[in-house]
Amino acid sequence: MVQSLELLLDPDSDAAIRRDWAYLAELGLPSQARHTGASNRPHVTVAVASAFDVGTEDRLGELVTTDDAVPGTLRLGGLVVFGGARVTLARAVVPSAELMEFHALVHEKLGDSPGVPPHLMPGRWTPHVTLAMRGKPHEIGSAATALSPGLRDLDATVAGVRRWDGDAKQEWMLGEAQNR
């Protein structure tokens, strides 16, 4: 499984993305709305590893409680498509200097954590919020066509930094009291 660090969106931005999810689902298209797990919510994945080495959790916790380390706002822009056997449709996150600096700092804090995908490394990362995953190319094309007419840039506030433990199927907010 995976260990990840994610930026969560403010309630209004979260609701806007969920409306897009619901619209795609209503049209019978691939949508994150179909993932009904309690932890499913709009987010920007900043880091993933197959495991976190000893000390990573503490280093990440210290980072997110450092003044001005976590970007305060994100701009969600146009649509982006990631290919493969199955295709993903997402909203691009405009890569501000603050976001890219935070991303680089997070990856420094990962230390020797194994299993970090190359496409998430600094200089190769495409920040995004997923709208639909594992679709066939024609379905993702239909989804993009459906969303495009009403698509506008969205300024979102970062509501928190979430840790996801895919092995334990648990989530918690870094920088807050933790009950794990």
CB 161 within 8 A of CB 9: no
DSSP 50: S
Question: What pTM value is reported for the model?
Answer: 0.94
Reading the block at residue 4, the tokens are 């990840």
Closest CA to 67 of 112, 98, 43, 113: 98
Q: Which residues pair with 75 in a beta bridge?
A: 155
pLDDT at 178: 42
Reading the block at residue 114, the tokens are 């194994």
CA–CA separation, 12 vs 126, rounded Å? 23
DSSP 95: -
Q: Residues 111-153: pLDDT tens digits?
A: 889 999 999 999 999 999 999 999 999 999 999 999 999 999 9
Closest CA to 106 of 78, 154, 71: 71
| pLDDT band with cut points at 50, 70 and 90 for residue 176 | low
Higher local confidence (pLDDT), 95 or 1 = 95
When pLDDT is averaged across residues 71-99 and rounded to a whole number, the result is 96
CA–CA separation, 129 vs 108, rounded Å? 23
Name the one residue in this structure whose structure tokens are 């506030």.
157
CA–CA separation, 158 vs 11, rounded Å? 10
Q: Residues 84-93: pLDDT tens digits?
A: 889 999 999 9
pLDDT at 98: 97
pLDDT at 179: 37
CB 130 within 8 A of CB 90: yes
Q: Which residues pair with 43 in a beta bridge?
A: 8
Q: Where are the beta strands (DSSP E) in 94-176?
A: 128-135, 154-165, 170-173
What kind and span of H or E run contains 104?
helix 97-109
Least reliable range by pLDDT among 70-79, 139-148, 153-162, 167-176: 167-176
